[in-house]
């Protein structure tokens, strides 16, 4: 029997309130899991850290705005039945003379405990967040907030050497007072003391934080990149250095004319770009791989058992989608096994992993109007808020599922997306989609596939059917088997199996 989501025990909703130097944010996830789904995400720019370097205290207006919005966040979380709400404060609050008093008043008003986390803990959690969304990462993670920069060495997803530095854009504003050279010297003064950073050449650099994500958006606009998903957007170090160098030298008026730059970042973005440029100059990574995951996701990941942490976030998310949106529950393993004869024995583990995930989510558009299933599935998969896959894999999955739903011609935006795939990847995506389309026409309930088999032998593709059930082979099955044969450039045939199960 197919596994169903009905009646399945689910842990309560979990929320995080991140009280940063520039903003406070509430994120609510559906539950504690390896692939939690964000249900609610709201940010308020309070500027708690504005003027901190000069005054030693949190910004007075920022404190008032933060406390009133923290009260609101708590009420929202209660209204959403959040079972666990983790409220944490970072650089500005831990460094300010009145940080403890701010927390005391916020706790009184909110009736909730607020943790002031150390710089070392902030660095560790941010690195765990990146690793949770990009398993097996190796390189350097950098999390730039308004008040601080956390740098962590990652080796196959495990945090190593780390540091927290007081060189966030809000602090640099106070230090440099508009003088770029002064800001650069202040940044270099801290970075050049990190011998391990200069020794980390190679690998990737993983930027985290709103300002650096804005730089990614600017680059996407400049190069007309087709997929506007920040997570796992990867560019060369040279491209990132050049972008950071240009942006670090622009004034407010020039920045305001650039598409994708929020007005609220006009003052801080040049300094954020300067920090990135100086980090890349020393670390010299091979690539820059932007992460949408960070501290908040790290807090969730840190609460999981080691066994849960080792699970694949891509498959866990795909499994959830199958249970929630599929007609037959989780059928990915069954479909993958049935389709395996279509693919070469030398298929890489990464390709096999992706094929399993695509099979798992292959029924997510059945509720859509038949004329629009392919288009809706294509766009939805491109934009799913899940980790564990890069942009190439997103496009591969979207093309395969569009093919599974029988798209004809081109879908909106598909032509530009296809430039992210090699010719061989495109053929494999089409082949997987055509195979899934045949599977669903042959047996509406995938469990029936156990009685049939695809066989690729020599120069022929054969569909085996059980004796007495030749009626399963109808006109739709014929058309889709022929389409699969054309994709493989193989003739097709059928065979009847006697007195045994197929496969």
Q: For residue 43, tell me if it sits in a domain.
A: yes
Residue 213 phi, psi (nearest 5): -65, -35
437 phi and psi, to 5 degrees? -65, -40
Query: 238 and 179 in one domain?
Result: yes
Tens of pLDDT, residue by residue over 413-435, are: 889 999 999 999 999 999 999 99
Q: How much of the chain, in percent, has pLDDT values that exceed 70? A: 96
User: ∠32-91-161 over CA atoms, to 5°?
Assistant: 75
Q: How many CB atoms lie within 10 A of CB 288?
A: 30
If asked whether residues 108 and 128 sit together in one domain, one would say no
Q: Give the per-residue pLDDT at 198.
A: 80
pLDDT of residue 7: 40
* Residue 91 and residue 190 share a domain: no
- CATH code, domain with 72: 3.30.420.40
203: region left, alpha or beta (phi > 0 left; psi from -120 to 50 alpha)? left
Hey, what are 399's tokens?
A: 């093309």
Please tell me whether residues 265 and 362 are part of one structural domain. Answer: no
The answer, yes or no, to whether residue 1 has pLDDT greater than 80, is: no
Give the total number of structural domains in the chain. Answer: 3
Same domain? For 145 and 230 the reply is yes
Query: Own/partner pairs for 336-339, CB < 8 Å, 24+ apart?
Result: 338/439, 338/449, 338/452, 338/453, 338/454, 338/503, 339/432, 339/435, 339/436, 339/439, 339/454
Condensed to tens digits (0 to 9), the pLDDT of residues 128-178 reads 999 999 998 999 999 999 999 999 999 999 999 999 999 999 999 999 988
Q: Are 169 and 317 found together in one domain? A: no
| Domain-located, residue 473 | no
Compute the C-alpha angle 319/426/431, nearest 5°.
Answer: 65
Q: Which of 117, 149, 168 is at the close of a domain?
A: 117
Helices 180-191/169-176 angle, 10° precision = 120
467 inside domain:
no
Mean pLDDT of 382-410: 93
Element (H, E) at 477: helix 475-488
Is 304 part of a structural domain of the chain? Answer: no
pLDDT of residue 502: 41
The verdict on pTM exceeding 0.85 is: yes
Nearest to 454 by CA among 478, 441, 434, 435: 435
Residues 59 and 208 in one domain: no
**Are 86 and 58 in the same domain?**
yes
Boundary-marking domain end, from 297, 324, 352:
297
Of 323, 403, 334, 331, nearest to 360 by C-alpha is: 331
Tokens of 413: 């935006």
Do residues 143 and 294 make contact, with C-beta atoms less than 8 angstroms apart? yes
Nearest CA to 282 out of 158, 152, 166, 193 is that of 193
> Looking at the structure, do residues 238 and 383 belong to the same domain, yes or no?
no
Through-space distance between the first and last CA atoms of the chain, rounded to whole angstroms: 20
Domain range enclosing 182: 120-297
Instruction: Report pLDDT digits (tens) over 70-116.
Output: 999 999 999 999 999 999 999 999 999 999 999 999 999 999 999 99
CATH of the domain at 129: 3.30.420.150
HSE-CB of 316 using CA atoms within 13 angstroms? 19
| CA 288/CA 307 separation, integer angstroms | 30
Q: Per-residue pLDDT for 180 more than 90?
A: yes
User: In the structure encoding, which two tokens stand for residue 370, read together?
Assistant: 């038949």
- Considering the domain boundaries, does residue 455 fall inside one? no
Same domain? 200 vs 224: yes
For residues 132 and 108, membership in a common domain is answered with: no
Length, in residues, of the chain: 503
For the segment 465-493, the average pLDDT, to the nearest whole number, is: 87
Examine residue 498 and state whether it is found in any structural domain, yes or no.
Answer: no
Residue 246 lies in a domain: yes
Q: Which of 252, 272, 297 is the last residue of a domain?
A: 297
Distance from C-alpha of 155 to C-alpha of 150, rounded to nearest angstrom: 16
The verdict on residue 500 lying in a domain is: no
* Same domain flag for 330 and 254: no
């Amino acid at each position: 029997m197919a596994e169903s989501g009905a009646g399945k025990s689910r842990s309560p909703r979990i929320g995080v309130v991140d009280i940063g130097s520039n903003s406070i944010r509430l994120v609510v996830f559906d539950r504690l899991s390896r692939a939690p789904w964000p249900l609610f995400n709201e940010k308020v720019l309070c500027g708690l850290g504005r003027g901190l370097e000069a005054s030693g205290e949190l910004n007075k207006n920022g404190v008032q705005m933060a406390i009133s919005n923290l009260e609101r966040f708590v009420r929202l979380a209660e209204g959403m039945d959040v079972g666990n709400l983790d409220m944490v404060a970072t650089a500005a609050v831990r460094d300010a003379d009145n940080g403890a008093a701010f927390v005391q008043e916020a706790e009184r008003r909110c009736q909730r405990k607020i943790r002031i986390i150390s710089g070392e803990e902030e660095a560790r959690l941010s690195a765990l967040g990146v690793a949770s969304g990009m398993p097996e990462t190796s390189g350097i993670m950098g999390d730039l907030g308004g008040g601080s920069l956390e740098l962590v060495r990652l080796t196959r997803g495990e945090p190593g050497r780390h540091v927290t530095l007081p060189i966030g854009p809000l602090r640099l504003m106070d230090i440099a007072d508009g003088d770029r050279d002064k800001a650069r010297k202040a940044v270099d003064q801290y970075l050049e003391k990190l011998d391990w950073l200069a020794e980390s050449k190679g690998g990737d650099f993983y930027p985290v934080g709103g300002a650096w994500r804005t730089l990614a958006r600017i680059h996407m606009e400049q190069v007309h990149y087709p997929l506007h998903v920040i997570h796992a957007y990867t560019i060369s170090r040279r491209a990132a250095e050049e972008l950071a160098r240009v942006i670090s030298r622009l004034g407010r008026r020039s920045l305001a004319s650039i598409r994708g730059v929020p007005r609220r970042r006009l003052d801080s973005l040049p300094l954020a770009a300067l920090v990135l440029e100086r980090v890349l100059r020393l670390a010299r990574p091979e690539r820059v791989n932007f992460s949408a995951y960070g501290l908040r996701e790290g807090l969730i990941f840190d609460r999981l058992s080691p066994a849960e942490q080792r699970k694949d976030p891509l498959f866990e998310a795909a499994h959830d989608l199958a249970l929630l949106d599929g007609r037959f529950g989780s059928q990915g393993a069954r479909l993958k096994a049935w389709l395996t004869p279509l693919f070469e024995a030398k298929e890489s583990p990464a390709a096999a992993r992706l094929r399993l995930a695509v099979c798992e989510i292959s029924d997510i558009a059945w509720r859509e109007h038949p004329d629009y299933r392919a288009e809706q599935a294509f766009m939805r998969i491109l934009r799913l808020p899940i980790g564990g896959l890069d942009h190439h894999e997103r496009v591969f999955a979207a093309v395969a599922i569009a093919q599974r739903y029988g798209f004809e011609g081109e879908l909106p935006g598909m032509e530009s997306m296809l430039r992210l795939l090699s010719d061989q990847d495109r053929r494999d995506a089409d082949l997987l989609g055509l195979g899934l389309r045949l599977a669903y026409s042959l047996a509406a309930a995938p469990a029936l596939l156990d009685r049939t088999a695809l066989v690729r032998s020599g120069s022929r593709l054969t569909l085996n059917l059980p004796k007495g059930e030749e009626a399963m082979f109808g006109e739709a099955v014929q058309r889709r088997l022929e389409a699969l044969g054309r994709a493989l450039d193989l003739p097709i045939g059928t065979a009847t199996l006697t007195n045994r199960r197929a496969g």
